[in-house]
Amino acid sequence: MNYIIFFLILMNMVLFADCKMSNGRTQVPIPENKVVSLFESGKSLSSHKIQDQDGLGTCYANATTAVLKSVLPNNPDVSYVHAALQTSTNGWLQSWSNGKNNYIKSDNSDLTSGGFFCDTVSALKKSGGACTVNHSILENKELMDSYVQIELMKGLGAYFDSVNKVKNDPAKLQKLKQNLAKVIDSVNMERTKVIQACQAEKRKDLPLKKALVEALSLEIFNIDFKDPCGKFKVQKFQEMLGSQSVITEDRIKLVIPPSIESEFNVFLTKNADIKSGLQKNLQQNKDKMLEDMNFQSTLGSKISEFLNNKLASIPSKNTNCPSGSPIRKIQSSPEELGSVFYSGILNQKSDVCNAYHENSAIIEAVKNSNINQCVPSSQLDEMLNALAPIMKVGETLDQSLINKMNNPLSQYGKQLKDFLLPGCMDKTNLISMNNISCASFSMCDKSEYLDMSNTTYTGPKGGCYDIGSARAIVRMKVFNNISSNRAMGISVCTAFMDNPAARTNFCQTPVQGVEGHSNHEMTISGYRCKNGKIEYQLLNSWGKYQGCPVSDGDKNSAIECSLDKSGNRDGKFWVKEDVLVDSTNEISQLVNKASP
């Protein structure tokens, strides 16, 4: 018996021997299933609001501001838009007298795209300090449309570039302002119509848009976009829904055309028992149907019938999917379809006007309005691109923002900051960062092409650390920072998000055939021991759902999505140590020298 006990103890030691961290002096064993996270109650990120860079190339600023939250007194939510603009526009404060200057770069990217962790800290310190998110007109608000922030940055940039070109010609400048006034009048008129339509929608017994979106989403989320039959099905859905819907592997946005909603309403009317059952549940006990599996199944079968008929009516553009393939038809179970469809009705009943905040209907109506027929189409598009994201902030266009569009400042950079973050222009609103110091640690020698003032590297000249040394460095720095209630920034190449077997030698080796981001900044917010191996918690900046780079139904052996108490994704994920270290080119830390 003693031999058995000794053997089990020995095996346990071997199995979990790798779960050790270091403070630089001693090894600290981490028990199996031990989790240390800055999102725990009382820790520095416990109140952190999940960020969504939403198309902007600001990951460097997202990571920097998340770490700043963990370091600054009282752990404030810091504006990543301000951090990005302050970093990128330092060289864009020239006078408008130089007509060659543009907000939009030659590659059509906005000024916020691309940056580095410690450079962002330096730029914020130079500007007077960090600005909080309550001074941002869009940031950390619930955004109904995808890519709102990038639309705003590019739309405003292009508009102000046009203003710059005509600023010295009073007649042309006045004509541009008159055209802007026409577009705004048209926007307000169409918004009124939409609000009226919204009220009419609320009075309907069965609002169907959201319900159909939920049912279609259930089916589309399970499509393999790389499979020929999957592509076939995506093409069918895309043609069925029209150009306002976006169906790609990276982004799904479904807009139900009025014609399909009308067709489905007629279809329901022909199935009187189903329609009356839905109405009865809504009027008497809205949750009853969620418990009635038979009704759910019957409803789901009818939804499948309708969608299959729609798909069959669309000519096939893909000959690589056999005619007898099951994927040519709806594959979701009737019970699931019925459940999500009814939940969609409930959601639309509770806030039916959310669908109209996307403003797609308004934009199309404005383009076709007689008021705007004399506005050049390119100028109309430009103005709508600048106005549309502002419309998404609230129910009315902010007059102060319109005034800023008509009376731009004399310097680049300042214009965007004054428009997007007016409170951050007042230095009394900024949080001092005089006591904050930043340092980055590289895994490979970058001295030939980077300013090394804030970067440390002590490995072989012109080379890289070996994986074991790099692993030890990451463990020590993460342990010391997390133990001090501080998060860390990490710069990675993201091949591992697509292929966990990819090995890049600290991002020095390109990986063929791997799509997605090539370089990305995130935040290390914790660590744990799982199955005898260290794993790290990464905080991403792609929103709650997209924050974990594993799609529903996909598997990635290196990644585990983090979930909140309700079982929903929360913008974080756990990644295996060796995979992350191999994919890391730099880690960064902040220290508040004023802290005890």
Say if residue 379's pLDDT is above 80.
Answer: yes
Same domain, 78 and 102: yes
Q: For residue 186, give every residue at least 6 positions away whose Cβ sits within 8 Å of its Cβ, in sequence order, or none.
A: 366, 369, 371, 372
Same domain, 236 and 344: yes
- Of 420 and 64, the one with more pLDDT: 64
Q: How far apart are CA 320 and CA 228, in angstroms?
A: 6
Same domain, 419 and 439: no
| Residue 10 pLDDT class (50, 70, 90 cuts) | very low
Domain contains 500: yes
Same domain, 418 and 342: no
Say if residue 15's pLDDT is above 60.
Answer: no
Q: What is the mean pLDDT of residues 392-412?
A: 71
Q: Are 503 and 534 in contact (CB under 8 A)?
A: no
| DSSP state for residue 135 in the 8-state scheme | G
By the 10 Å C-beta count (0-12 exposed, 13-18 middle, 19+ buried), 147 is classed as middle
Q: What is the pLDDT of residues 460-477, one digit of tens each?
A: 988 999 999 999 999 999
Lowest mean pLDDT among 8-22, 57-71, 301-315, 367-381: 8-22
Nearest CA-CA partner of 491 in 456, 471, 518, 451: 518
Q: What is the pLDDT of residues 232-262, one digit of tens each?
A: 888 889 999 998 888 888 778 888 998 998 8
Nearest CA-CA partner of 192 in 355, 348, 365, 347: 365
Same domain, 134 and 239: no
For residue 47, the Cα-to-chain-centroid distance in whole angstroms is 19
**Last residue of one domain, picked from the residues 366, 400, 429:** 429
Strand partners, 526: 37, 537
| Residue 581 pLDDT class (50, 70, 90 cuts) | very high
Task: List C-alpha distances in Å: 388 to 151, 303, 365, 572.
Answer: 8, 34, 13, 30
Same domain, 336 and 476: no
Q: How far apart are CA 193 and CA 175, in angstroms?
A: 27
Q: Are 253 and 144 in contact (CB under 8 A)?
A: no
Q: Are 299 and 362 in contact (CB under 8 A)?
A: no
Same domain, 416 and 548: no
Give me the number of domains the chain comprises: 3
Left if phi > 0, otherwise alpha if psi is -120 to 50, otherwise beta: which for 296?
alpha
**Last residue of one domain, picked from the residues 314, 343, 358:** 358
- In the predicted model, what is the mean pLDDT of the chain? 82
| Residue 488 pLDDT class (50, 70, 90 cuts) | very high
By the 10 Å C-beta count (0-12 exposed, 13-18 middle, 19+ buried), 572 is classed as buried
Q: Are 149 and 136 in contact (CB under 8 A)?
A: no
Q: How far apart are CA 355 and CA 144, in angstroms?
A: 8
Same domain, 585 and 447: yes
Same domain, 534 and 447: yes
Domain contains 176: no
Domain contains 194: no
Domain contains 569: yes
Same domain, 214 and 96: no
| Residue 358 pLDDT class (50, 70, 90 cuts) | low
- Range of 286's domain? 209-358
| Residue 43 pLDDT class (50, 70, 90 cuts) | very high
Lowest mean pLDDT among 5-14, 174-183, 202-211: 5-14
